[in-house]
Chains A and B, each alone.
Chain A
Amino acid sequence: MATLSTDPAFSPERHYFEQLAQGRFTIPRCRACARAHFYPRALCPHCGADTLDWIAPSGRGEIYSTTIVRSKAGDYTVCLVDLAEGPRMMSRVVDTPVESVRIGMPVTARIDTVDGAPLLVFVPEPEGRA
């Protein structure tokens, strides 16, 4: 993909959410040190370079940690997911009972619409794919 960050008017945050709204999950990867990062920044947090490409991650990840928020409106998970490409992000695991979400569990990204906005969530990876 093109290096977008050389345009002085480019906003990584706006770009990320615009892409998400169009059904695309993209993250920045540094040309200088070849490491991806999340959340998207104007500079690579690993090496400080401003030459960032945007890549489409595989969407595969693993639960690094998880908690169940006990809410009056219903229980839901809040997780930290380690993407296969390296970066970690906060998300939630859906389509499975909250109690079944475990550390180390393989998961796959999906873009849902929640409260009228696109939200990157994860679902358990289908049996046998891992």
Chain B
Amino acid sequence: MTRSYRGAIAVLGTGMAGLGDCGGRSEQEIIAQAAHRAVAASGLRMDQIDGIITSSLTSPWWVMRMAEYLGIRPRFSDSTMFGGSSFIADLKVAAMAIEAGQCDHVLICYGANPRSVPSSTQVNQMRAALDPQPYEHPYKPFNPVSSYALAAARHMHQYGTTRRQLAEVAVAARKWAQLNPDAFLRTPLTIDDVLDAKMISDPLTVRDCCLVTDGAGAFVVTRADRARDLHARPIYVLGTGHAHWHRQISCMPDVTVTPAVDSGRAAFAEAGLAPADIDIVELYDAFTINPILFLEDLGFCAKGEGGAFIGGGRIEPGGELPMNTNGGGLSFTHPGMYSIFLVIEAVTQLRREAGERQVRQADVALVHGNGGVLSSQATAILSHSL
């Protein structure tokens, strides 16, 4: 039988740094700044951090480099690459490590600077060479966009989802971003702006795609039974789930059904909750099709109905199911592996610290991270109460 980690760990402090354009500072510099903020907000000193989980799109040695940089000698560390879903998948790993007595305070952190320090052609070629895909690369998919475009096109064909419905996801994200002073893009955005934007890989225009920004995020998780000694408002992790079925889009059995089906089921089962119990959702919106797929796969609506479900203002400010309340990867920030910011925003909302964008009823939040090309799916359910 699967052991339950319901409420075993809690998120303490969070921190962000270098959002938007970090002015060419190094990834380690902005991660350290975010980590410093997160640790201080947790009522801890850096030398009390005895666990660290981080990963990088480039360096396979990242957790050693980061621990070295921060001066941490971890009793527990992990650096498994789950793409953009990593920092939600890491919550399960952290809960297992803490429950097993391997460590007490785990720092989970990530950052990148692709806006002010764009990867050279050489680095991009090296990334492709280090993860060879000889059955896809020769066809020159403009990845990741083209892989998500293939999923979007099939969803449109199979269920009648429209480009306007995809655009509604981007428009709703922008409305939230307009309430968030830290968001990268805050100018008004209309459905037609999205539809008329430069086509990248049909049916996705540049406005259906997430931003490329700098940014770092960090948070600390600790034993739930000691969390209140350190922080006035710990946010408990009630359930987690993680699943992956493929790496490449050509190996995804049905491009309209993601492993979020499994990760969501596991997270809800552990939490003892159902979609109707969730007040806000933070779903990794690398592309506008993503939240539509995830709302279906996580059980908020039936398969194929996601396009209609997000309409009528449901996911916008003031809507029935506030979604991506910081503006998301589409309008807030997106430095490559975005899921760290999903957790930070959910924690901010659950603590009622979200300022103008604060959702009135925010007691239970679902965060969902996506990695690769719909490949890795990680879900967690968070609340201020056990």
Chain A positions near chain B (C-beta within 8 angstroms): 13, 17, 38-39, 64-71, 76, 78-80, 88-92, 103-104, 114, 117, 119
Contacts and interface: CB of A to CB of B under 8 A. Distances in A.
Interface string B205-232: 0000000000000000000000000000
B287 to A, nearest CB: 12
B150 A65 contact: yes
Given A80-B249, A89-B250, A90-B250, A69 B146 contact: yes
B151 A39 contact: no
Interface string B168-210: 0000000000000000000000000000001111110000000
Contacts of A89: 135, 250
A75 to B, nearest CB: 9
Interface of B: 134-136, 138-142, 146, 149-151, 153-154, 157, 198-203, 248-251, 255
Contacts of A64: 154, 255
Nearest to A115: B138
Contact of B201 (A17, A39, A69, A114): A69
Contacts of A114: 138
Contacts of A65: 150-151, 153-154, 157, 255
B196 to A, nearest CB: 14
Contacts, number: 73
A37 to B, nearest CB: 10
Nearest to B202: A68
B153 A90 contact: no
B376 to A, nearest CB: 18
Given A65-B153, A70-B199, 13 more contacts: A66-B150, A67-B149, A67-B150, A67-B203, A69-B141, A69-B142, A70-B198, A70-B201, A78-B150, A88-B250, A90-B250, A92-B139, A119-B138
Contacts of A103: 153-154, 157
A90 B252 CA distance: 11
A78 B154 contact: no
A80 B138 contact: no
B138 A117 contact: yes
Nearest to B254: A64
A46 to B, nearest CB: 11
B137 to A, nearest CB: 9
Contact of A90 (B141, B201, B202, B203): B141
A40 to B, nearest CB: 9
Q: Which 7 A-B pairs have the closest CB atoms?
A: A67-B149, A65-B154, A39-B135, A90-B250, A65-B150, A68-B202, A103-B157
A44 B100 CA distance: 37
Given A65-B151, A65-B153, A78 B141 contact: yes
